């Protein structure tokens, strides 16, 4: 579909977020009196100072079948937009754009901010991937699109059987920590493409870390973990008075603010060398880890042209293995063989079947640097491979898992955070970062304030087969320096004429690429950016034997799925699940939406 359908009601532009945001059920559009400096605005947030606003009421977007309880904002902008999972950070990113920064500057500042306020998902103790679109350098020239792989890697002493005797050691404690890559990744992007000084991009997060208000998402997650009360590394921050901090109370990460100050002045070397690295390595080793100073010093990012495909005439750029970018392209290659005019039971059945074939293909994915031949990975994203799989999709019924020919059982990953940005030049970035589980390895270094990832749990461990006879994937066993499999898919699409169309990605572990896939289909069906993100979702990853449906998904379609043999399980849309952040450009106008499933709000100007 060539144009983005916006419905009959005009959507209002969403300006900057308010200092004391309304509850989701009471959301209103608001605008903020201009406050030029980024740091000043950050200080106001941090101190909980009142800010002057003008506000007015407007009608909510028209509800449509399959949308959840709190319609997300649809942001309308003309110069740039940032869609992140936290309204504070979306605004930091837009302020950077207003001060002359480009999309790379913006996403760097936004990512630092996310690591401060949504530390349960992301931070400098983790890693990730980004896809960056550089607009054409001259009329008639083509854009250039690159990926930066800053995924965490296994330490030099890692081996295939390191978790066989204690499987939980891959989840919690020092042995679960992969070598963090986020700072090297952000710095590499800055070195290549940014325009503003590095220190300018870190400074807002330095100020925010000194104190900001606990929001709904953080307040909820703090209470899930008793160690927040009993471990002083955590309780000093999250339960300073012997109880969990509550929504609206001030939280302070002064130790992290100090660390970020050093990073602002010294770059990523301040993290990988010197006292910060020494403190982190000591904490990792004291909690059972095997990481060494050379592991930190030897870490390197990977930069390469993005993995490219097409979908209905548009260029699609996404991340390479070990992400699930090849799988997303495979699913798009399959779905474009259908003429899906509308959302019917049959068409949704086809979507679920394609999802299942996607998860089967995902069992072949691994770090391509650790395989004798990358052919099996390379073929997944091709049209020819889709042509082989397509005849096996049956319209009348679904099938047991073995029908889809998965080769191995694959570990399920978790968590993450995603940000999508576009600027006025058409430069765009889709960046997904993670510490894996909520609060990562549950290690917080009290000296530096850094929360460390548990990315080692994304590797497979040799052992017994699952309940369906599939053994863990040897492609994904731990090895020194190896990057584990990831479900992330930071993705950028262009219009048929080569101009920027959208940047998208998500968080939520193994639900990420199916959620992004469904968001792209929703856009193809004419939904606007907000509706495409908010629409109820389905998920089927072969194991367990269940097609998970949001409880807002149209009931008749779910019944049609059951009639075709799907074991439909309906769950609350409010649960922790996949969260998508999207920016779209159509006819000179930018539309952005952050997923209300995590109370995100995008911002634009």
- Which positions are catalytic? 416
Write out the DSSP string of 487-528: ----EEEE-TTSSEEEEEEEESGGGHHHHHHHHHHHHHTT--
Annotated binding residue 524: no
Helix (H) or strand (E) holding 265: helix 254-266
Annotated binding residue 435: yes
Distance of CA 477 to the CA centre of its chain: 24
Are 405 and 360 within 8 A, CB to CB? yes
Structure tokens at 49: 């100072």
Annotated binding residue 314: no
CA distance 280 to 263: 14
Annotated binding residue 434: yes
Annotated binding residue 436: yes
CA distance 84 to 103: 13
Task: Give the CA-trace dihedral at 172, 177, 182, 188, to 10 degrees.
Answer: -170
Write out the DSSP string of 555-592: HHHHHHHHHTT--EEEE-TTSS--EEEEEEEETTEEEE
Nearest to 154 by CA among 173, 179, 128: 179
Helix (H) or strand (E) holding 75: strand 75-77
Are 521 and 351 within 8 A, CB to CB? yes
Nearest to 398 by CA among 546, 585, 524, 507: 546
Nearest to 382 by CA among 359, 361, 401: 361
CA distance 275 to 268: 13
Are 532 and 581 within 8 A, CB to CB? no
Task: Give the CA-trace dihedral at 100, 104, 110, 111, to 10 degrees.
Answer: -160
Are 7 and 62 within 8 A, CB to CB? yes
Nearest to 518 by CA among 500, 536, 530: 536
CA distance 284 to 452: 9
Q: Which residues pair with 431 in a beta bridge?
A: 130, 419
Are 552 and 63 within 8 A, CB to CB? no
Annotated binding residue 487: yes
**Burial bucket for residue 484 (CB in 10 Å: 0-12, 13-18, 19+):** buried
Could you say which DSSP state residue 538 is in? E
Are 348 and 298 within 8 A, CB to CB? no
Annotated binding residue 486: yes
Structure tokens at 483: 């990057």
| CB atoms closer than 10 angstroms to residue 242 | 7
Size of the chain, expressed as the number of residues it contains = 605
Annotated binding residue 570: no
Task: Give the CA-trace dihedral at 84, 86, 92, 97, to 10 degrees.
Answer: 20
Query: Torsions phi, psi of 274, nearest 5?
Result: 85, -160
Distance of CA 260 to the CA centre of its chain: 22
As annotated, the binding site includes 151, 434-436, 458, 486-487, 509
Q: Enumerate the known binding-site residues for L-glutamate.
A: 151, 434-436, 458, 486-487, 509
């Amino acid at each position: 579909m060539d144009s983005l359908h916006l419905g009959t009601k005009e959507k209002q532009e969403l300006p900057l977020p308010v200092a004391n945001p309304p509850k989701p059920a009471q959301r209103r559009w608001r605008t903020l009196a201009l406050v030029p400096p980024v740091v000043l605005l950050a200080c106001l947030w941090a101190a909980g100072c009142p800010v002057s606003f003008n506000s007015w009421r407007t009608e909510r977007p028209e509800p449509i079948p399959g949308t959840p309880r709190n319609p997300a904002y649809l942001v309308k902008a003309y110069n740039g937009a940032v869609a992140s999972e936290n309204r504070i950070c979306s605004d930091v990113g837009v302020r950077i754009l207003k001060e002359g920064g480009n999309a790379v500057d913006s996403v760097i500042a936004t990512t630092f901010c996310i690591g401060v306020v949504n530390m349960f998902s992301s931070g400098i103790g983790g890693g990730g991937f980004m896809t960056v679109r550089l607009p054409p350098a001259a009329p008639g020239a083509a854009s250039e699109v690159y990926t930066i792989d800053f995924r965490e890697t296994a330490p030099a002493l890692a081996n295939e059987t390191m978790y066989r005797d204690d499987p939980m050691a891959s989840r919690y404690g020092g042995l679960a920590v992969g070598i963090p890559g986020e700072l090297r990744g952000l710095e590499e992007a800055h070195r290549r493409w940014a325009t503003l000084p590095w220190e300018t991009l870190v400074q807002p997060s330095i100020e925010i870390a000194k104190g900001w208000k606990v929001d709904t998402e953080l307040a909820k997650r703090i209470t899930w973990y008793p160690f927040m009360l009993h471990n002083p590394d955590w309780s000093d921050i999250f339960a300073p008075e012997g109880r969990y901090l509550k929504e609206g109370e001030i939280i302070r990460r002064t130790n992290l603010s100090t660390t970020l100050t050093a990073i602002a002045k010294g770059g990523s070397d301040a993290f990988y060398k010197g006292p910060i690295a020494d403190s982190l390595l000591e904490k990792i080793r004291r909690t059972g880890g095997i990481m060494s100073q050379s592991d930190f010093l030897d870490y390197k990012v990977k930069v390469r042209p993005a993995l490219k495909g097409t979908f209905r005439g548009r260029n699609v750029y996404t991340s390479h293995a070990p992400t699930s970018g090849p799988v997303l392209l495979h699913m798009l290659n399959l779905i474009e063989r259908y003429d899906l005019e509308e959302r019917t039971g049959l068409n949704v059945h086809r979507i679920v079947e394609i999802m299942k074939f996607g998860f089967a293909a995902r069992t072949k994915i691994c770090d391509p640097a650790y395989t004798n031949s990358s052919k099996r990975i390379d073929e997944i994203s091709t049209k020819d491979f889709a042509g082989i799989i397509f005849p096996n999709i049956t319209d009348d019924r679904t099938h047991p898992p073995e029908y889809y020919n998965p080769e191995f059982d694959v570990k399920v990953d978790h968590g993450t955070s995603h940000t999508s940005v576009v600027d006025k030049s058409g430069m765009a970035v889709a960046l997904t970062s993670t510490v894996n589980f909520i609060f990562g390895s549950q290690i917080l270094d009290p000296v530096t304030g850094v929360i460390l990832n548990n990315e080692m749990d994304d590797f497979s461990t040799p052992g017994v087969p699952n309940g369906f006879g599939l053994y863990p994937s040897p492609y994904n066993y731990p090895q020194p320096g190896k990057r584990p499999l990831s479900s992330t898919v930071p993705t950028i699409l262009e219009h048929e004429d080569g101009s920027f169309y959208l940047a998208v990605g998500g968080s939520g572990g193994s639900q990420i690429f199916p959620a992004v896939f469904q968001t792209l289909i929703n856009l193809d069906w004419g939904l606007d950016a907000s509706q495409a993100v908010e629409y109820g979702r389905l998920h089927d990853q072969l194991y367990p034997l269940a097609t998970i449906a949001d409880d807002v998904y149209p009931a008749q379609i779910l019944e049609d799925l059951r009639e075709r043999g799907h074991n439909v399980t309906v769950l609350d849309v409010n649960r922790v699940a996949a969260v998508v952040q999207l920016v779209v450009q159509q006819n000179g106008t930018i539309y952005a939406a952050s997923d209300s499933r995590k109370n995100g709000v995008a911002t634009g100007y």
